Amino acid sequence: MALDPLFDFTGKVVLVTGGSRGLGYQMVKALAARGANVVIASRKLEACELVADEVRALGREALAVSAHVGKWDACDELVQAAYDKFGKLDILINNAGMSPACPSHELSEALFDSILNLNLKGPFRLASQVAHRMREGEGGSIINISSIASLHPLPGVVPYGSAKSGLNSMSVSLAREYGPKVRVNTIAAGPFLTDIADAWTPEAREQQNNSMGRPGNPEEIVTAALMLASPASSFTTGALIRVDGGA
């Protein structure tokens, strides 16, 4: 298909964490369809390989990597694997996350640490290491997937909302630290019908208390991600875009 020059990612290399399902999967497909080669990372290698096969079927190159991106060593190994395969990264999408609900007074230290590791510690490690390499090379774009819970704090998910608030702040700081060659932006996602919605009530899967009156379909994350990833958005950095149905 003919590609819009504003959204032509031919020759670009993208790393998407949590790329085997949900919002990450949608972003992988959209970028590959527009010419990008993709590194797909998640805990389950088999799931990543299935998505990598879809990318290859589009005529792109793909690398599937099993990585627990809440751990710094795993983050470093993931970055090195991407550079060993492609020699560069043009776009990093920190999408992996977890948001288990638990009364705050019952939360264990281990679960607290796991939530912060996956939602803040790991994204910091990946973003800082990739930003450094991007700045030494031709530059690039980093997109951190946050949550509306970072802006509208909710009960029962306090560590998650706190970690995502930290992610928002981190994006602005890194944008200042590694600019102008590296752009760092944030998408604050609202309720989406990903696998997390399996635990919702039937009513919640149909209706939400937002301006659109409904949860989002996973593919509705795509346009915001493409805009921030595109080199045409060269004057957009340190920004936070809400894709939340008007929460």
Question: pLDDT (tens digit, 9 = 90+) per residue, 6-34?
Answer: 999 999 999 999 999 999 999 999 999 99
Judged against a pLDDT cut of 90, whether residue 99 lies above it is answered with: no
Count other C-beta atoms under 10 Å from residue 180's C-beta: 11
Task: Write down the pTM of the prediction.
Answer: 0.95
pLDDT of 1 reads: 61
Mean pLDDT of 175-191: 97
> Which sequence spans correspond to the domains of the chain?
11-243
More confident residue, 215 or 123: 123
pLDDT of 146 reads: 97
Domain 11-243 class?
alpha beta
pLDDT of 202 reads: 87
The closest alpha carbon to 182, from 147, 139, 144, belongs to 139
Instruction: Report the residue count for the chain.
Output: 247
Mean pLDDT of 142-170: 95
Mean pLDDT of 43-55: 97
Cα-Cα-Cα-Cα dihedral sign, residues 124, 130, 131, 132: positive
pLDDT of 196 reads: 77
Judged against a pLDDT cut of 80, whether residue 199 lies above it is answered with: no
pLDDT of 58 reads: 97
Give the tokens for residue 33.
């369809």
Query: Mind telling me the catalytic residues?
Result: 160
Determine the angle formed by the axes of helices 122-136 and 158-178, rounding to 10 degrees.
10
Mean pLDDT of 113-135: 98
pLDDT of 37 reads: 98
Q: What is the mean pLDDT of the chain?
A: 95
What count of Cα atoms within 13 Å lies in the side-chain half-sphere of residue 220? 16
The closest alpha carbon to 213, from 227, 221, 203, belongs to 203
Render pLDDT for 211-241 as a digit per residue (tens, 0 to 9): 999 988 989 999 999 999 999 999 999 999 9
Judged against a pLDDT cut of 80, whether residue 170 lies above it is answered with: yes
Q: What share of the chain is helix, strand, coil (3-state, %, to 5)?
A: 50, 15, 35
Structure confidence at residue 243 as a pLDDT band (50, 70, 90) = very high
pLDDT of 197 reads: 73
pLDDT of 204 reads: 86
Mean pLDDT of 103-129: 96
Mean pLDDT of 64-77: 97
Judged against a pLDDT cut of 70, whether residue 172 lies above it is answered with: yes
Mean pLDDT of 80-109: 94
